[in-house]
Chain A
Amino acid sequence: MKANETLDAKGLACPMPIVKTKKAITGLEAGNVLEILATDQGSKADIQAWAENAGHQYLGTVEEGEVLKHYLRKGKDDEDQEEKKHDQTISNEELQNKLSEDVTVLDVREPAEYAFGHIPGAINIPLGELDERLSELNQDQEVYVVCRTGSRSDLASQKLAKQGHNAYNVIPGMKEWSGETKQEQ
């Protein structure tokens, strides 16, 4: 799974996996994903609880034999409150009702976030890669752009609109998505 950085905490006992994680995430840019490899079984619950208190986003854990791979996304202080500028929006519920039709859902979160749960059929292009990968999208179809809170998808919708796409920002996004999701690992 794709991450911006990997921390090897294998063989370390509690509290070291968290102590190292805390250090490693300090050097990371907000919004980036950290992968933590650990063998301490207790690290799963602790990383999850720590991330929540520290304002980071716990994406999930993949178990590979003895090794636990935890994924964290470094938090931004005001992600939820950022002002949305793109006018054309659609609510989670409205999008849910459209999913039976052939629609394009573009998920602009990081690949690790996408992997731990996305709307079935959604295409994943992280916001940071959108400029160079625009050609992957069909110009003729409406695009429903989703992220976790509606903030990154707002920026993405603006970019798409400038390039002539008919883009809708999905509000609030995956954070409160109650419909079906798919995992990829």
Chain B
Amino acid sequence: MIKPMTAAQVAKRVMNQEELFILDVRNESEYKDWKIEGNSIHVINKPYFDLLDGVEEIVEELPNEDVLVVCAKEGSSKMVADMLDEAGIKEVSYLEGGMKAWSEYLEPVKVGDLSDGGELYQFVRLGKGCLSYLVESQGEAMIIDSNRMIQPYLDFAEDKSLTIKHVADTHLHADHISGGRKIAEETDASYWLPPKDATEVEFDYNGLEDGTEIEVGNTKIKVQAIYSPGHTIGSTSFIIDDQYLLTGDILFVESIGRPDLAGKAEDWVGDLRNTLYSRYKELSNDLLVLPAHFSKMSEMADSGVVAKKLGDLYKDNSGLNVDDEQEFRKMVTENLPPQPNSYEEIRQVNMGKINPEDEKQREMEIGPNRCAVN
């Protein structure tokens, strides 16, 4: 008997580094575009349509038990899982909802405590490498860089009896659809966005300016906004409780942001350099950097959190160690990875200019985030 495995169960295996063997039966180009990854994950690709006549050929490459079959939506993985089961492999499962469900799954991981007893959580979207944050203090919460799927945040807040007071995006995202505005509407929270990224948006928002302070909870946990352009012209970072630095898409654990997704690489490369090589340098080395993305599992600590101290990044992150300005310019404008799928349309959605139906939004987001210079 084959069994379904949920995206949450797969996420647990990835984060706890438990072994999992995956047979991905999507076509080769989709597999090359993105797949389930992790230190304990072994994955091979064989399109379902090459297995219609039988699975004998692939069975030799699989373990005798505990195999997860994965496809785009679910149907093909069920078919292949049944065939493997008949071929004698034990404990065959299929990914419930397929890669679509994987792309949407969020796993909340605690980053640490705040000085007044509050907590900071990182919501890890393993399937897309997106990281979002929830600050909670004294029954109040603020959400930063939320994903399109807002229910996990709302459920989390409800479980912990939190009132969502503020929602913010560090910048206008190009790789995923922001759920910020929707959460704000559902919860009557204020929605914050940097005005320089919002010149074309078609909705009301509160302007995030350099030095803006937002308070969460009665004991006044400070969320300080720092103008840090480069990935976009409005990109803003947050310092939370003098301990944590949320860098958005400017600085990642093993790489730095790319300046080209709004078509202005040449104009913004100077801002990017200034932010990384001057503005952030003035900050405390002890701040724990929490980015909005990761692209490799090596960026994730054993705790499941993607984070690193600013001082360590100045030592280890090669993007912060390019002394020559011309060389830096070259690195961030030439040989960039391909742009995120549908990135122009995603920007349009985030500006409120277009509002495609859910299924279309889901498809626009499929694939990796590709927001970093590699």
Contacts and interface: CB of A to CB of B under 8 A. Distances in A.
Interface of A: 13-16, 18-19, 22, 41-42, 45-46, 49-50, 53
Nearest to A53: B50
B73 A50 contact: no
A15 B98 CA distance: 13
B29 A14 contact: no
B72 A50 contact: no
Given A19-B52, A46-B49, A14 B73 contact: yes
Contacts of A15: 48-49, 52, 75-76, 79
A42 B52 CA distance: 17
A15 B73 CA distance: 10
B239 to A, nearest CB: 44
Contact of B363 (A13, A41, A50, A53): A41
Contact of A42 (B28, B50, B72): B72
Those 3 A-B pairs whose CB atoms lie nearest each other, nearest first: A50-B49, A15-B76, A49-B27
Interface of B: 27-30, 47-50, 52, 71-73, 75-76, 79, 363
Contacts of A46: 27, 47, 49
Contact of B47 (A19, A41, A50): A50
Given A15-B79, A46-B47, A50-B47, 4 more contacts: A16-B75, A19-B52, A22-B49, A45-B29
A18 B30 contact: no
A22 B30 CA distance: 21
Contacts of B47: 46, 49-50, 53
A14 B71 contact: yes
Contacts of B50: 50, 53
B75 A22 contact: no
B74 to A, nearest CB: 8
A45 B47 CA distance: 11
Nearest to A23: B52
Contacts of B71: 14
